[in-house]
Amino acid sequence: MRPKPVVLIVRLWQVEDKLRASVRPAHGGVTRYFKDMASLCAYLVEAQRVGAEVKPLDAQGLK
């Protein structure tokens, strides 16, 4: 069984002299905010190591 890819939407912006970021699964889910690039990189490395357990929201409409 091949692993499913996880698609993340990453937004970066600058506040004063610091870079901020948010990460959200493209298929829906909780948005996580990071105060610096080191925190963002640590999250992405951990998500890759663990297998990025991101659960989609329940689908609305026809099943």
Average pLDDT of the chain is: 80
In contact, 25 and 33? CB cutoff 8 Å: no
pLDDT at 57 over 60: no
Provide mean pLDDT across the span 22-34.
91
pTM assigned to the model: 0.65
User: What is the reported pLDDT for 34?
Assistant: 95
Provide mean pLDDT across the span 32-38.
94
Residues 6+ apart with CB under 8 A from 22: 10, 11, 31, 32, 33, 34
Name the band, by pLDDT with cuts 50, 70 and 90, for residue 5.
Answer: confident
